[in-house]
Chains A and B, each alone.
Chain A
Amino acid sequence: MTILVYDGTWPGFLSCVFEAYERKLTELQISSELRFQASLLDTPITIITEEAKARRVWSGLQKRLSGQALRQLYHCFLSEIPMIENTLFEYIRLAFAWEGVEKAFTKASVLRVSQVAKMVYREKHRMEAFVRFQLTTDGIYYATIEPDFNVLPILRSHFEKRYADQKWLIYDLRRKYGIFYDLEEVEEIQLERGSSGTEASSIFSEDEAAYQTLWKDYFEHVNIKERKNMKLHLRHVPRRYWKYLTEKAP
């Protein structure tokens, strides 16, 4: 089996799609270099990411799929689920072969892409709600997240629109990179080792702890005890998200 190995980026993946068509490969798998494991039976080919090739594939897809379907493909890619590239490739192959493939839910890859995309979208939505910024002494609103999927690229525009007049940084601890807005634009950054520690309270502004306390107070006092309904509460805020929430912190 031929395995196309790429750098783990979206343009890298699209470059693989380009190469697959270029080389007329029929039996293949696509794997990011991080996940790739060599075996004697496979022939790996390292694919160099090329913007021009990626763009050609993308504009080809734009002619065949709706905006929603294109978004689904990208969201699905961000899931980083092992082997998801193969599902995406299968879908893309169908899309180039037939018209209107995005509604053909009887095809396994089409159904899978729509399901995974929905999961990623939900995670994005949760992060929009659950991110909690803390103000640092250098005037940056700082939040850390550990999302199940790589949602930072699709969170960007939401936060950029909303917090246009404050510097902010949202850092993905799991994937070790963040998006930083410096009042002009948003860029991806990586913090040096050891500097992402949120423990050191000295890095936060004087008022930070006070506002967190106020928020906790508010959260407690807006609750109506007579209507307590923990089942519903947990359905909306599953326990695994509590770590983000100032108001749920002990």
Chain B
Amino acid sequence: MWDRIREKLQILADAAKYDVSCSSSGSTRKNTNKGLGDTGNGICHTYTEDGRCVSLLKILLTNFCIYDCAYCVTRKSNDIKRTAFTVQEVVDLTINFYRRNYIEGLFLSSGIFKDADYTMERLVRVAKKLRTEHNFNGYIHLKSIPGASDELMKEAGLYADRLSVNIEVPTEQGLKLLAPEKDRKDMIQPMNFLKNEIILRQSEKKLFKKAPLFAPAGQSSQMIIGATQETDKDIMFTANSLYKNFNLKRVYYSGYVPVSNDHRLPGLGTSVPRLRENRLYQADWLLRFYGFQVNELVHNQQPNLDMDIDPKLGWALSNLNQFPVDINRADLHLILRVPGIGMLSAKKIVEARRFQRLNWEHLKKLGVALNRARFFITCNSSYFERRDLSAKQIRHFILSGSDKKTFSAAVTQLQLF
């Protein structure tokens, strides 16, 4: 019996790994019933050799699929071994892994067998069993299957902490090319339904404390990067509209890992665009936390992010007229726009300057990366960058300075700013 399960797990973990989301944070589910598990900030229980956090048991229920999306290993025309877990097998694996402190919970996705409802119904059944029969309070992330009925989506929201539909291809033309049987509308529909349902439930929750949780960790989505000819502008505009229109908690960017010799796609052996992926995450960060508008970062004149420098520096260099910023006077939102100043340092600056006017020494102590920031700020010092440097010159100084090291380090470590 164990050999059968082993084989299934190997196949269905393999097929699920291209979904990069592994977050187990943001839920508010607590262990109040003396049951099993608790959610909180999310713990990475281990890291794979590619350096990614392993927090959830991430598997497909089955890799049988009636669709033939070109970018996907599970596509119908791919010659691979097919298998399926039973509902009970997934439940047992989850519980037994959780009890041994291997995982924070389950992330269950699936190929589409028969039709959307048939598939969704099984995903929901796993979650329901975990919650009702095993008193499981760990984290559950379910895939919303495009085209599934509202009734099923509603049930899913009652048992899951997070739901997600992957947009996968950033543009409609791309989708037509790579997954001609799929319709963008079908993907948007469950997202929209869940958004409204989440808003409704939240207002209920305010009225009745006892109202049940409904997808407390919200929705997320993922786009594949570099499978089609999309620009960074296409990607960021789509991401932006997902955040704005459907209140998504996160959009993930997943560099395309070649899985086929299809002529419509980059060939096998093409390297994964990890640097581009990282730049997109940085731009995403700027949208969500730094008050940038999407068209400030990418627009028709500049449809792609600069690969050599991070998007904040890129923006600053094309908007030199907004600088220098006076550290001792400027509003927080302007300070946040200075390259080399992160969220934490910006907040500390605003706190600290109430007591004394800040100089270079202070700024360094507060964690500002002066090698970049110095070109864009003035502070309480008579030393400041007086030369009237062009964007090109500044770029050159920064890239040739000690920055070079941090740059190449950033490529291997994929850090944010």
Contact = CB atoms under 8 A, between A and B. Distances in A.
B31 interface: yes
Interface in B401-417: 412-414
B48 A222 contact: yes
B257 A219 contact: no
A119 interface: no
A231 B413 CA distance: 8
A231 B409 CA distance: 11
B44 A236 contact: yes
Contacts of A135: 99-100
B49 A215 contact: no
A163 B100 CA distance: 10
B99 A217 contact: no
A18 B386 CA distance: 60
Give the most central of A131, A226, A228: most B CB within 10 Å.
Answer: A226
Nearest to A229: B51
B367 to A, nearest CB: 14
B413 A232 contact: yes
A237 B46 contact: yes
Contact of A218 (B50, B57, B101, B413): B57
A226 B18 CA distance: 11
Given A132-B100, A163-B36, A232-B412, A227 B274 contact: yes
Contact of B412 (A128, A229, A236): A229
B34 A218 contact: no
A130 B100 contact: no
A218 B9 contact: yes
Contacts, number: 137
Given A166-B99, A215-B97, A230-B49, A129 B43 contact: yes
Contact of B34 (A128, A164, A215, A232): A164
A147 to B, nearest CB: 15
Contacts of A108: none
A235 B13 CA distance: 24
B13 A222 contact: yes
Interface string B52-63: 111001100000
B100 A134 contact: yes
A233 to B, nearest CB: 5
A210 B257 contact: no
A150 to B, nearest CB: 20
A227 B257 contact: yes
A215 B102 contact: yes
Interface residues of A, number: 46
B311 interface: no
Nearest to A214: B9
Given A163-B36, A164-B31, A233 B43 contact: no
Nearest to A224: B50
A44 to B, nearest CB: 42
A223 interface: yes
Give the most central of A162, A223, A248: most B CB within 10 Å.
Answer: A162
B16 interface: yes
Nearest to A133: B100
Interface in A158-177: 161-166
A86 interface: no
B34 A165 contact: yes
Contacts of B16: 222
Contacts of B96: 207, 211
Contacts of A165: 34-36, 135
Given A233-B51, A236-B44, 11 more contacts: A131-B101, A134-B100, A135-B99, A165-B34, A165-B36, A218-B9, A223-B50, A226-B271, A227-B255, A227-B272, A228-B49
Interface of A: 125, 128-135, 141, 143, 161-166, 207, 210-211, 213-215, 217-219, 221-233, 235-237, 245-248
7 contacts: A211-B97, A214-B9, A224-B18, A224-B52, A226-B272, A236-B51, A237-B46
